[in-house]
Amino acid sequence: MSEQKKITTPLTDEIVEDLKIGDQVLISGTIYTARDAAHKRLVDLLDKGENLPFDVKGQIIYFVGPTPPKPGQVIGSAGPTTSYRMNAYTPRVIEAGQKGMIGKGEMGADVVAQMKKHKAVYFSAVGGAGALIAKSITAAEVIAYDDLGAEAIRKLTVKDFPAIVALDCHGGNLYEEGIAKYGKL
Distance (Å, rounded) from C-alpha 24 to C-alpha 22?
Answer: 6
What total of structural domains would you count in the chain?
1
Residue 92 burial by Cβ neighbours in a 10 Å radius (0-12, 13-18, 19+) = middle
Domain residues for 113?
A: 4-182
Look up 39 and say whether it is catalytic: yes
Q: How confident is the model at residue 75, as a pLDDT?
A: 93
Extended strands (E) in the chain: 4-8, 24-33, 60-62, 100-103, 121-124, 137-144, 153-167
Compute how many other C-beta atoms are within 10 angstroms of the C-beta atom of residue 136: 18
Q: Which member of 35, 39, 99, 104 is catalytic? A: 39
Give the domain CATH number at 135.
3.20.130.10
The pLDDT confidence band at residue 2, using thresholds 50, 70 and 90, is: low
12-42 confidence digits (pLDDT tens) = 999 999 999 999 999 999 999 999 999 999 9
**C-alpha dist (Å) from residue 152 to 13, 32, 78, 79, 155:** 28, 10, 13, 15, 10
Extended strands (E) in 12-99: 24-33, 60-62
Q: Residue range 88-100: average pLDDT? A: 98
Q: Is pLDDT of 185 > 60?
A: no
The pLDDT confidence band at residue 3, using thresholds 50, 70 and 90, is: low
Which are the contacts of 147, defined by CB distance < 8 A and separation ≥ 6? Answer: none
Question: Radius of gyration over alpha carbons of the chain, in Å?
Answer: 15
CA geometry: angle at 54 spanning 46 and 149, to 5°? 95
User: How far is the first Cα of the chain from the last one, in angstroms, to the nearest whole number?
Assistant: 24
Q: How confident is the model at residue 23, as a pLDDT?
A: 95
Say if pTM beats, i.e. exceeds, 0.85.
yes
